[in-house]
Homo-oligomer: A and B are copies of this chain.
């Protein structure tokens, strides 16, 4: 299929130009809404062209040229990496995972606001981010009437197009055109007091349209591209990941036997990464059939489950596939297009739907404390890793929230179970299950002291168990409140010790 045939709207054919010409339309100080979610469907050419322009501008010694960059979630080196490299980002939200961005955030030269992903569009509509000047959106085709065929992620694209004064489209001919029809863009959202129920009662249901509406007159540029999404090869699950997956499957089995979960489980939400992928792989080799997924991201593991029939349908807002996964997807796209629905992220992550469907939320974490508080974002309390992403949308409102991590990091020098987490993203009220390769702690209905023993005994690495019990027992004996016993002077000392000595273990 030739590139040309992807731009069927005559007026928009007139707007085709180079990425440099398009990037020239983005002024300094602009607030720019870009497509992109977990490295899929982000613009491939304009951000780099803009970065070149910024670099040239800044070399003149003029006042720095910076923009605010709002996306769906993470993008790729072509977007976050290039713009961060030239120090072109003033404010970044709602999620990122780029190493150069991360460095700028943690050295204080970039403002970053990590937000619940379901809330971003509501914030934008409410005007809290100010005016959106321009949207830069990757699509896979433009139809005759100017409506847009979304790409490998939907993210916030609907909102950005609606909110921006001007729209730049990138038409990426590398994306398979047979994705047309997989998307479900819902135009029934509103700000309160005008909201109506979201009438989704099953993960696989469609409530919207296949295409993004876009007023032709808003489009100021159309740029043709032909580049693949960022795609990192998946590592085979390591031993810890496999053990974590085993614990979770045992737990599911038990809950099914106790009549607390149906044998098709409940719709799965699965965070991105190797541990969630190991869980998916384990589910696929188990006895499960006709599971469903109501999640943010389709990873390789879900493709396999869809193919084998373990999973009957998967709803998400984006793909995040390895090169092998992309090849598999493209080869069997006729199968997958019937079983995958891509929605905007305010629907894929909607609290109303997550609660109604009773999502089982499985997400990674950096650390948990003995009372069940989880840190998903901050290394040693101060350094941003990536962001909370959608984990809060699903963990708070889902039926079960499972947080997973190997029990140690950095060659055993860091314990993922600590007396007190150095940052809280998920409170004791929201964390139902904690799993490490050591075991699974079921915290439902337990008081804080009951939780402490459950977490220490089931999840802590043997190297840190005695040290944790010692902390807990001395906290209980300290004469302070016995509801959540702590020694405030020591609560964060494990993190301090790591900073000072390179290990959380006492000397």
- From known contacts A388-B429, A429-B116, infer whether A476 and B108 are also in contact, taking CB-CB under 8 Å: yes
Partner of A195, one of B351, B357, B380, B484: B357
Residue of B nearest to A482 (CB): B108
B197 touches A486 (CB 8 A): no
Q: What's the least CB distance linking A480 to chain B, in Å?
A: 4
**Is A382 a contact of B111 with CB atoms below 8 Å?**
no
Proximity bits, A466-507, B CB within 8 Å = 1, else 0: 000000000110001111111011011001100100000000
Q: Is the CB of A358 within 8 A of B195?
A: yes
Shortest A199–chain B CB gap in Å is: 6
Interface centre among A264, A426, A446, A492 (most CB of B within 10 A): A492
Which chain B residues lie closer than 8 Å to A351 at the CB level? Answer: 351-352, 355, 396-397
Is A192 on the interface with B (CB-CB < 8 A)? yes
Q: Which residue among A191, A397, A430 has the maximum number of chain B CB atoms within 10 Å of its CB?
A: A397
Q: Give A191 to B399 CA distance when docked, in angstroms.
A: 9
Give chain B residues whose Cβ lies under 8 Å from the Cβ of A28. Answer: none
Q: Are B112 and A447 in contact (CB under 8 A)?
A: yes
Chain B residues with Cβ below 8 Å from A131 are none
Q: Residues 382-424 of chain A: 1 if any B CB is under 8 Å from the residue's CB, otherwise 0?
A: 1110001000100011010000000000000000000000111
Known interface pairs A108-B476, A262-B193, A489-B496; A113-B445 also in contact (CB < 8 Å):
yes
A482 touches B429 (CB 8 A): no
**Residues of chain B within 8 A of A192, CB atoms compared:** 266, 356-358, 399
Contact of A495 among B114, B392, B488 (CB under 8 A): B488
B258–A127 contact, CB under 8 A? yes
- Tell me whether A123 is interfacial, beta carbon within 8 Å: yes
- Would you give the shortest CB distance from A481 to chain B, in whole angstroms? 3
Q: Once the chains are docked, how many angstroms separate the CA of A127 from the CA of B399?
A: 13
- Complex: chain B residue closest to A102, CB-CB: B483
Are A492 and B488 closer than 8 Å at their CB atoms?
A: yes
- The answer to whether the Cβ of A17 comes within 8 Å of any Cβ in the partner chain is no
Question: B residues within 8 A CB of A115?
Answer: 429
A107 within 8 A of B: yes
Cα(A197)–Cα(B481), bound, Å: 42
B483–A105 touching, CB < 8 Å? yes
A126 at the interface (CB under 8 A from B): yes
Contact of A197 with B197 in the complex, beta carbons under 8 Å? yes
Please, could you name 28 A-B residue pairs with CB atoms under 8 Å apart, sorted by A?
A108-B449, A108-B476, A108-B482, A112-B483, A126-B260, A127-B258, A192-B356, A192-B357, A192-B358, A195-B201, A195-B357, A197-B198, A197-B199, A351-B351, A373-B424, A380-B481, A381-B486, A382-B481, A382-B482, A382-B486, A382-B488, A384-B483, A392-B396, A392-B430, A422-B486, A423-B484, A425-B427, A492-B492
Which residues of A are in contact with B by a Cβ distance under 8 Å?
Answer: 91, 93, 105-108, 111-116, 122-123, 126-129, 191-193, 195-199, 201-202, 258-260, 262, 264, 266-267, 350-352, 355-358, 373, 378-384, 388, 392, 396-397, 399, 422-427, 429-430, 444-447, 449-450, 475-476, 480-486, 488-489, 491-492, 495-496, 499
Q: 9 shortest A-B CB distances, which residue pairs?
A: A192-B358, A383-B481, A108-B482, A382-B481, A424-B424, A111-B447, A384-B483, A197-B197, A352-B352
